[in-house]
Structure 1
Amino acid sequence: MTRLSAVGAGMIPLCDGAWLLKGFLLKYEQALLQNLERLTEHSPFRHMVTPGGYRMSVSMTNCGPRGWVTDERGYRYSETDPVTGRAWPDMPALFSQLAQQAASEAGYSDFCPDACLINRYVPGAKLSLHQDKDEQDFTHPIVSFSLGLPATFDFGGRTRRAPVTPYMLEHGDVVVWGGPSRLFYHGIRALKKGHHAQMGSQRINLTFRCAH
């Protein structure tokens, strides 16, 4: 893999096994946004429903061999988009390269994601505290990209009641967590109104995982 240059990135430790990489994506923002536009033409954003019947405020889509979905049957990974009936669009090489490099910078050198969940937040949308636990192998980290409006990321602990620490995620930031923090609870507070020069009044989050 050709090593990409992440100009301006600074690493902030969150806890054992977790890092915030400030500005890691900024050099590649235009290419990332162009790829996103193509992906969402193939598999558009949609508001999924939880097994309990709750319509999520965040709209979602996926790319890669497997996509994360939720409906009345539960949370799971699927090789096909239930909206289009087709395979999810391929994960762009730039996405996987940047995700792998970010993981490597955080100490996870063998990360090779096969799933990328793409979340779209508009003002008021949020994601309550949860664990990423639908994957089969927890030895692989989670890599999360932030684009667009800033958002408050709550990073907790092994239980839902563990204290949380808020972090401001800005356009171009990446969070990586794994190892002892792999199953820590985390969430995004309700997005505040605002306007981003590149993306308008929205935030896009890409979460890379090894589903299998």
Structure 2
Amino acid sequence: MLFLVNDTNVQFLDQDDDDDPDTELYLTQPFACGTAFAVSVLDSLMSATYFNDNILTLIRTLVTGGATPELEALIAEENALRGGYSTPQTLANRDRCRVAQLALLDGPFADLGDGGCYGDLFCKALKTYNMLCFGIYRLRDAHLSAPSQCTKRYVITNPPYEFELVPTDLIFCLMQFDHNAGQSRASLSHSSHSSQSSSKKSSSVHSIPSTANRPNRPKSRESRDKQKYVQEERL
């Protein structure tokens, strides 16, 4: 990645790019592919952080993949990371989200990679695996029918529901550190909800006979009154 002082210098990075020199920085291929960064972007981030403190945490998660400030300090001081035993404290630190890329070429989302909609992928990833998708990392020549040797990719942020997917797409997502634990919690909550609904249904079923027997009570009372009346008349 190259750091640009002047945004207009982005046109000199790659001679193969056919961008117009007057094109804005965020619309150029180097910036969209993640190979160029400019000072003006930092100004925008600082302004956004002033109004929303959570943006800084989000940016740290996107850049470092979920590293904590303590881990960043250790890496900056060139300290060696040594393995150790898992403790409740270390396991609690792992209970956080991290940035990941999902491949559509194979895996559980392969059925949506060939012509599927981004909205269906978003719903499936969120409901089944507790993953929050927020962008696509697509090959530049993915729309060409003939195979291409170009490996450049660009980012599509928050595409619409009907956006068509291709098998070579990589999906940016926020996922839990242990996605299996999140899936088990989701299944557990689903089972508890099902048990509650089933208990409600069973209680309503049990209440049906009691309400059904209520109309028979006046008849029994009438028969008893009638028998009592007959006995008094005989006397």
Q: TM-score, normalised by structure 1?
A: 0.22
Q: Which has the larger radius of gyration?
A: 2
Structure number having the greater strand percentage: 1
Structure number having the greater helix percentage: 2
